[in-house]
Structures are given as C-alpha cells and as structure tokens.
Amino acid sequence: MTPLLSLRGLGVRIGGVAPVSGVSLDVGRGEVLGLVGESGSGKSLTMRAVLRLLPPAAQVTGQVLWEGQDLTTLPEGGIRKVRGGQIAMVFQEPMTALNPVLPVGLQITESLGEHLGLRGAAARRRAVELLDQVGIPDAARRLGAYPHEFSGGMRQRAMIAIALAAGPKLLLADEPTTALDVTIQDQILKLLLRLKDELDMSVVLVTHDLGVVAGTCDRVAVLYAGRVMETGPTERLFTRPSHAYTLGLLHSLPDAAQARQRLRGIPGVPPDPAALPSGCRFAPRCAYAVAACRLEQPPLVPVAEAQESACLRAADLLAAGREAA
C-alpha cells in the first residue's frame, strides 16, 4: 500500500549547520508512528519541515511526498491548503502556540473559516462540537475564554480541537504531553488514539518518552543527531533492537520488576550539529563501535522483516537479543 506521507532524504540546513540530514521514513494510512530521540535530535525540525514552518533562513532539501505530491515544490498557496487542512500539527507548548490575547473560540473559528469556509453561527456551532469532542466541559461557554483561563491539559485539548477543525488526514503531534502530569498525559494520549480511530487519520507522535511509544504507537523511527538510526514495529524494536542507540535508550528505562536499581544511561552528550563526528554519529558514545564505524555513515538498510537499521553491528545486536530472549 502506498504510504500517506513519505520523507526521502529530507534535510534542513540553517547557515552552515545541518541539524537534520537524510531523513527517510514513511507514515502509513491509519497508523501511529512514534518519532523518538533525545532533545536536539531533529524531531521537531523534521515535522516543521514537512509543513514548511521553518524560518526563511532555513533551506530544506530532499522530498516530502504527500499522497505522491512533493510538498517542497508547491507554491505558497498550495502548501497553505495542505497545512491545517490535510496535515495538521499540535505544537509542543500550547501556552505559547495559542494566541494569549484572543479567545479560544476565535482561534478555532479562524481555522474553520480558512479551510472550510464556515462563518458566523455555523462556525460557532462547529467550534462547540470540536471542544466537546476533545472533552472540554461546558464547551459553549468556554469559547469565550482566553488561554490563560484554561489548565495545561485543557489548553492541549484546545490545540487538538484547532488541529482537527478541518478534518485532516494526518496529525503531527509534537510532544503533546510535555509539562503535563501523568494523569493528564494519559488522558491526552487516549484522546488522540480515540480521535485517530473516529476520524480515520494517521498520527506522528513526537516524543522522547519510550513508555508513551510502547503504549500508543504501531511503528517507531529513532532519530539521533538529525538522522534515522532505526525503524520498525514497536514491539520488535523493544524486544529486538538492531541499533546500539535504540538499545541505549531502552537500557535507560527503569525496570518495574526491580525495587532498587541503577539506571544505565548513555554516556556523553549528543554532538553539536556544527561539529558532527565522521562516520556514524553515535560512534563516540557507542559501546559497540568498531574502527569502521568512524569511517563512514552507515546507510539505513533492511535487517529483518519490516525493520531497518543504520548500524554496522545490527546483526550482532539482533543475535544478542535472540539469545537474551
């Protein structure tokens, strides 16, 4: 089946720095893809590049194929129809993404007018339906409220309502549970999954929380220093990781079966985009690295059914995983 969205060699260059380079991944129809990695790995930049929401100084290379059409070549009028209408985005921090001086209802009806041509009473009725759909009580009264009058969880729900206003086929959710307590995080994630099924849309969930990925995503793409390190079905990546970086992320998770334990963090820090290492970008922090890892960046290649890895030691890691199982 043809993917809904395909990124082919997507790169972002700002000045002399390329924080994203060569990202290739697919989003299937009706699936939830998790995009994971440490802070600074290029997750948010990649999502913003899809919708051309980067500053003018940023140069985007590669292809963003949306239902077969390359979004990087569309004129501004064309991308505006896709942005918000067919592909919507929930931004990382709702308090800064929402306009603080406009009522929430006005921000929803603005999107309805732009993409669906709804105005006046019709737009208001639809806005009430959207707020009710995302679980905001007393929706009609809440239309006149300002963002600061909403709690963090309600602001995030309002952002989701705005994103869903035009009935998109794909929702890009950029860390939608950041700064929310655990109970509200769970509510937001369940809401996204319910809406995904009800509206028959796909979701890209950007997060650094592997626990969130385990409970919500069908497939995972692991990013590090602006490149895809590994992709595959969620269950397989958690039980048979084929890249040392994925393994490091999994080892950094606490084990619920052990009352007292020492966490196994990944040594070092991600590289500066302005001074990337030669060869595999993870090699300086990798316990499995060999001399060849520092010579050339390994390509992303199939290593198992529906699983791809950019690691020269992928076969060794998979074999170790089978023995451990």
| Residue-level pLDDT, tens digit, the chain, 325 residues | 689 999 999 999 998 899 999 999 999 999 999 999 999 899 999 999 999 999 999 999 999 999 889 999 999 999 999 999 999 999 887 778 899 999 999 999 999 998 999 999 999 999 999 999 999 999 999 999 999 999 989 999 999 999 999 999 999 999 988 777 888 889 999 999 999 999 999 999 999 888 889 989 999 999 999 999 999 999 999 999 999 999 999 988 877 666 677 777 899 999 999 999 999 999 999 999 999 999 999 999 999 999 999 999 999 999 876 544 3
| Half-sphere exposure at residue 221, Cβ-oriented, CA atoms within 13 angstroms | 25
- Number of domains the chain is built from: 1
Range of 292's domain?
A: 239-268+275-324
How far is residue 126 CA from its own chain's centroid?
27
Residue 224 corresponds to which tokens in the numbers above?
Answer: 């590090």
Examine residue 81 and state whether it is found in any structural domain, yes or no: no
Taken in order 122, 124, 127, 131, the sign of the CA dihedral is: negative
* d(C-alpha 12, C-alpha 297), whole Å: 18
Examine residue 308 and state whether it is found in any structural domain, yes or no: yes
* d(C-alpha 288, C-alpha 224), whole Å: 16
Examine residue 223 and state whether it is found in any structural domain, yes or no: no
Examine residue 249 and state whether it is found in any structural domain, yes or no: yes
Coil vs helix vs strand at 129: helix
Examine residue 243 and state whether it is found in any structural domain, yes or no: yes
Examine residue 152 and state whether it is found in any structural domain, yes or no: no
